[in-house]
Amino acid sequence: MGKDELVTRLDEQYDELGPRLMELADASDAAKLVHELLESAEARLAVALSVVEGAEAARTPRSIECAMRAAERGGLRKNSPDRGRG
């Protein structure tokens, strides 16, 4: 079906097809909003995952060992915010 035929059919059946076109336009807007919502959630999840993975990497046995040695030498206080970052 070409563009001209589509326009002719729409003109002939406007009472039936007109409201459907409006519904389709509204659905398209809603789909765009859902897409934006999902992209935003995906970005927040990626940031949260990188924070968790970074925290996990800081808890490796080597970093804990370095922190313990520094604490033994008096380089870190027991409740220091840098404790465990070796």
Residue range 38-84, pLDDT digits in tens: 999 999 998 888 887 777 666 666 666 666 676 677 654 545 454 44
Tokens of 24: 């389709």
Q: Using a cut of 0.75, tell me whether the model's pTM lies above it.
A: no
Instruction: Tokens for 77, please give them.
Output: 């206080």
Q: What pLDDT does 60 receive?
A: 64
Cβ neighbours around 76 below 10 Å, total: 20
Sequence ranges of the domains in the chain: 3-72
Distance CA 59, CA 49 (A): 15
* Residue 82, both tokens: 């840098």
